[in-house]
A and B are shown apart, each in its own frame.
Chain A
Amino acid sequence: MSFVAAQILNGIATGMLYALMGLGLSLITGILNIPNFAHGALFAIGAYFLVSSALIIGNFWVALLVAPIGVAILGLVIEYAGIRRLYAAGHDYQLLFTFGLALILSESIILIWGPVGSSYLPPEILRGGADLGFTMYPKYRLFVMVAAGLLVFATWLFLEKTRYGAIMRAGIENKEMVSLLGIDIKMLFTVAFALGAYLAGIAGALTAPIRGLNPGMGPDMLGIAFVVVALGGLGNLLGAIAAGLIIGVAQALVAAYWTEASTVVIYAVMAVILLVRPQGLFGIR
Chain B
Amino acid sequence: MSKLSRRDVLKAGAAAATLGFPAIIRAQSKEIVILGLWDQTGAFADVGPINDRGMKMALEERNMQILGRPIKYITRDGATQAGTSTRRTEEAVDGDGAKFVIGPWSSGVALAVSEVAKRKKVLHLFSGGTEDISGARCHRYSFQWAASPYTAAKTVVDSFMKANPKAKRWHLLVADYAFGWSVEKYIKEVGKAHGLEFVGADRHPLGEREFSNYVQKAAANKPDAVAMINFGGDAVAGAREIFNFGLTPKVPLIMTWSSGVEELVQLSPEIRQNCWVGSNFYYTADTPGAKAFVKSYQAKFGNPPGYAPSASYSMTRLLLAGFDKAKSAEVQDVIKALEGIEVNDIVGRMRMDAATHQNIRPYFFMRCKQKAAMKHETDFADIIATGDAPLPKEYGACKDIGGF
Contact = CB atoms under 8 A, between A and B. Distances in A.
Interface string A126-165: 0011000001111011000000000000000000000000
Interface stretch (B61-69, B86-94, B158-166, B262-270): B262-270
A209 B81 CA distance: 30
A263 interface: yes
Contact of A140 (B49, B204, B244): B244
Given A3-B220, A212-B236, A10 B203 contact: no
Nearest to B239: A119
B340 interface: no
Interface stretch (A54-62, A178-186, A252-260): A252-260
Interface string B246-262: 10000000000000001
A36 interface: no
Interface string B214-245: 10110110000000000001001100110011
Interface in B264-289: 265-268, 270-271
Contact of B266 (A117, A121, A141): A117
Contact of A216 (B217, B233, B271): B233
Nearest to A120: B268
B291 interface: no
Nearest to A248: B210
- Greatest chain A CB density within 10 A among B49, B205, B244 is at B244
B45 interface: yes
B46 interface: yes
B99 to A, nearest CB: 32
A109 interface: no
A14 B209 CA distance: 12
Contacts of B246: 128-129, 136, 138
Nearest to A18: B210
B267 A14 contact: no
B216 A10 contact: yes
B265 A210 contact: no
Nearest to B246: A129
Interface in A1-33: 3, 6-7, 10-11, 13-14
Contacts of B84: none
B202 interface: yes
Contacts of A136: 219, 245-246
A251 B244 CA distance: 19
B208 interface: yes
A263 B205 contact: yes
B240 A259 contact: no
A214 B268 CA distance: 14
Nearest to A263: B205
Interface string A253-274: 0011001101110000000000
A115 B46 contact: yes
What's the interface size class on B, roughly? 20 to 34
What's the interface size class on A, roughly? 35 or more
A116 interface: yes
B370 interface: no
Given A140-B244, A255-B213, A121 B220 contact: no
Contact of A212 (B207, B213, B266, B270): B266
A263 B267 CA distance: 24
B240 A214 contact: no
A212 B210 contact: no
B176 interface: yes
A13 B245 CA distance: 14
A45 B29 CA distance: 50
A6 B220 contact: yes
Contact of A119 (B46, B213, B266): B266
Contacts of B332: none
B182 interface: no
Interface string B339-356: 000000000000000000
A225 to B, nearest CB: 14
B275 to A, nearest CB: 12
A211 B237 contact: yes
Interface string A213-248: 011110010000000000000000000000000000
Contact of B212 (A14, A116, A120, A129): A14
A263 B208 contact: yes
Interface of A: 3, 6-7, 10-11, 13-14, 115-122, 128-129, 135-138, 140-141, 209-212, 214-217, 220, 251-252, 255-256, 259-260, 262-264
24 contacts: A3-B217, A7-B216, A7-B217, A117-B266, A119-B240, A119-B266, A121-B270, A129-B246, A136-B245, A136-B246, A138-B246, A140-B244, A141-B212, A211-B209, A211-B237, A214-B233, A214-B266, A220-B209, A252-B212, A255-B214, A260-B203, A260-B204, A262-B208, A263-B205
Question: Which A-B residue pairs are the 5 nearest by beta carbons?
Answer: A255-B213, A129-B246, A259-B202, A119-B268, A117-B266
